[in-house]
């Protein structure tokens, strides 16, 4: 999992820093959510992401959501993250990693969802469309290849 992992810490939903290794232990699929607190469409996706996140946790699926915010105000980002995101992790906005990941996955508009495996293989770059079209069933599409 060398994707953005020169990074040592992620932020949890309470705003605390958590070592990356601990946060992502036993996870095989990562849902990268690129958005900002001011993005209305992204905020519309949050309940859908929450639903799949809760379902994945309930079923012990090896999935984690990681939020890459394009906000420039750390306080606004953290407030939004703590209030509206649901137990997953965020990359601190002052990290160069956020910009690098936007470049790596060619994120030119937001919101976007990219799903990758631990080994770096891309499951889909069209995660937002998958989520909107398939709803909770998106977990099957994203996880079946690793569960078989």
Please indicate whether residue 132 or residue 102 has the higher confidence score (pLDDT).
132
Domain with residue 39: its CATH number is 3.40.30.10
Q: Per the domain annotation, does 79 fall within a domain?
A: yes
Q: Provide mean pLDDT across the span 96-120.
A: 88
Complete DSSP assignment for 69-132: E--S-HHHHHHHHHHHS-S-EE--TTSHHHHHHHHHTT--SSSEEEEEETTS-EEES-HHHHHH
Residue 114: give the domain boundaries.
Answer: 9-127
Q: Per the domain annotation, does 139 fall within a domain?
A: no
* Total count of domains within the chain: 1
Q: What is the pTM of this model?
A: 0.91
In tens, the pLDDT along 48-104 reads: 999 999 999 999 999 999 999 888 888 888 888 888 888 899 998 877 788 888 889
33 phi, psi to nearest 5 deg: -110, 110
């Amino acid at each position: 999992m060398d994707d953005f992992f020169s990074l040592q810490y992620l932020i949890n939903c309470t705003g605390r820093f958590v070592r990356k290794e601990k946060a992502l232990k036993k996870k095989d699929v990562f849902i990268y959510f690129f958005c900002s607190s001011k993005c209305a469409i992204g905020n519309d996706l949050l309940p859908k992401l929450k639903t799949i996140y809760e379902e994945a946790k309930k079923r012990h699926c090896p999935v984690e959501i990681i939020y890459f915010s394009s906000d420039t105000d750390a306080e606004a980002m953290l407030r939004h993250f703590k209030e509206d995101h649901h137990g997953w992790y965020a990359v601190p906005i002052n990290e160069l990693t956020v910009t690098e990941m936007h470049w790596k996955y060619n994120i030119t508009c937001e919101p976007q969802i990219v799903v990758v495996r631990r080994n770096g293989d891309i499951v889909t770059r069209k995660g937002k469309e998958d989520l909107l079209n398939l709803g909770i069933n998106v977990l099957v599409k994203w996880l079946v290849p690793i569960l078989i």
